[in-house]
Amino acid sequence: MVRYRRNFVPGGTFFFTVTLFDRNSRILVDQIEVLRESFRITRNERPFAIDAIAILPEHLHVLMTLPPGDADFSGRWRRIKGQFSSVLLRAGLSIPRRNNGDLALWQNRFWEHTIRDDDHFARHVDYIHFNPVKHGLVTRVHDWPYSSFRRYVREGLLPEDWGGDVTELTGEFGERTV
């Protein structure tokens, strides 16, 4: 079996996909304030920058930059996921357990990718912001309330109509049809 290796770069910028165990769940958006507070608590304890983010019902994408000399993104994700799960349990939400007794809220791992340069960074910001449209949750990027897109618009980094309106698109774009 091949051992998975993570690329730990102190002070690096990383793209993450973090997914719930139940891919049909909506708990991330249904409990958005708990998730936001989990991020706030973790950032206060172990600082990091959220360069871009999109929270979808059952997964999220984040571009995260760590402080100089710090490469521990795994510890931050462990804290965010643990804090979120703990608050939900204390609130009385029922979370199933795996055979070994561990909570079955989150998938065990996360997907991470090291950002190499400015162009790579920009492509991942675009991917993150367009993801709710890609998943059919909205037809315009601006309509999804759980992303950093509106901050990018406020800061003048992207126009409000960035990404257009997919209801106006016609044609095939390489996606498989069933």
Query: What is the model's pLDDT at position 101?
Result: 81
- Ordered by start, the domain boundaries in the chain are 13-115
Pick the CATH number of 13-115 from 3.30.200.20, 3.40.630.40, 3.30.750.24, 3.30.70.1290: 3.30.70.1290
What kind and span of H or E run contains 59?
A: strand 59-65
What length is written for the chain?
178
Q: What is the DSSP letter of 158?
A: S
Q: Which pLDDT value is given to residue 3? A: 62
What are the structure tokens assigned to 57, written together? 């019902």
Write down the pLDDT at residue 169.
Answer: 60
Task: Give me the torsion for CA of 158, 71, 105, 139, rounded to 10°.
Answer: 10
What is the rounded distance in angstroms from the CA atom of residue 73 to the CA atom of residue 7? Answer: 10
pLDDT one-digit tens code per residue, 18-38? 999 999 999 999 999 999 999
Catalytic status, residue 146: yes
* Distance of alpha carbon 61 from alpha carbon 54, whole angstroms: 5
pLDDT at 2: 54
At 103 the pLDDT is 85
Q: What single DSSP character describes residue 147?
A: B
Pick the catalytic residue from 4, 127, 146, 152: 146
Residues of the chain with pLDDT under 70: 1-4, 169-178
pTM equals 0.89
